[in-house]
Structure 1
Amino acid sequence: CEHFQEAIRVDPPEPPPVRPREPSAEEKFHAAAKAGDIAAIKSLLIADPELVYSKGEHDRTLLHHAARHGHKDIAELALDKELKINAETDLGWTPLRFAAWHGDKDMVELLLARGAGAKSKGMMSLSPLHAAVREGHKDIVELLLSRGVDVNEPQFGWTPLHKAAYGGRREIAIMLLEKGADMNLRTSPGWTPLHAAVREGHKDIVKLLLAKGAEVNARDSKGCTALYIAYDKS
């Protein structure tokens, strides 16, 4: 008769535990910059002074991290190391734009005092002024205008007043008008700030613009007046 040898089942050995990869010096440096750990940054720079010129995710430098996260001491360190103050990320963000977007007045003042371009714009054409208007930071808007930024500075055809009207930023709209903002400039679809305010239902902005003499019968590229837009929304 035939003899069969029973196979013995043997479980495979457990694989050795996978050790997490040790972060590189650059990764540690940029993590410390985001966290505001200036002691770690200084320690890493002692070991490798060239780290100060490295770029992290989205081409952000030490100064970008400092401005984005509000670490003034790290920003001062970066500026003392002569990092480019108007350097842009891969999306065109400068340190000043980050500070303006987040409403960090101390950071904005520091960057302006050290030579940041208040009028600088990245490839996406969102200037510090537009960033501050969009996010509703009145004090930053006032500061930038005091530095001579064009009150009608366009971004894709939108002026700061268009943005204030669209976003319902009444106090900022008042400030822009006091600084000479043109109420009748148009976007590429032909919108005036009045069209923008009506489209988003900001009655207080509509009243403000009309009281200031905005052209009530202005038509956009489709021939629509602000009144037509209001009727169409109802």
Structure 2
Amino acid sequence: MKKENKTNKKAVCIMSGGMDSTLSAYMMQNEGYEIIAVHFNYDQRTQTKELECFENICASLHVKQKYILDLDFFKQLGASALTDKTIEVPTQGIEEGVPVTYVPFRNGIFLSMAAAIAEKESAQIISIGVVEEDSSGYPDCREEYIKAMQNAINLGTKEETNIEIKMPLVHLKKSQIVQEALKLNVPLELTWSCYKNEKKACGICDSCRLRLNGFETAGVTDPIPYE
């Protein structure tokens, strides 16, 4: 039986610079958690922009402790349009099944590394902005999978380490995410979702389509620039 952690409330927030993980971090802060921000550079197409967004969002959240981790493993692995530039990012609409933008076991690897940080920092929470319905068919965005990872993490850590993985957006639609972000005054203009571009979002990749549809359904204008 794991012991209860009595230390200050801390949440390790996996933050890509995107809208979902940013809202998740704001929700954790709103619940009174000290944010420990974690960002991964994995040679993704929009790495420079995502890192810039992460830094700006951390400033907005007044984050005191952050980790920026460089992973060249995914580039060596390839197998995804996000990390292998010989594979085109789809722009014809949402694909059936698991799309080519899926990075093999990415969230599993991210959660494992976040767990190591959480154990070191005596954090009670790992926050991840997975969304099941709008996840583009990614198998590592499912609630069942994240819960299984939580169980594995607690089995593989010290007795006094007791980590809960929070996924506050998992059952929300993109329009609901936009609405929740507006309620918490999340600076959506600092976030980025495009899979292809770093200056102006393409507006036609799966991620842009999901984002734009969410804003349209919510009845508000997306503040980031598009081609």
Q: TM-score range by the shorter chain?
A: under 0.3
Tell me: higher relative CO, structure 1 or 2? Use CA pairs within 8 A at least 6 residues apart: 2
Bigger share in helix: 1
TM-score, structure 2 as length reference = 0.27
Bigger share in strand: 2
- Return the index of the structure with the highest Cα Rg: 1
TM-score, structure 1 as length reference = 0.26
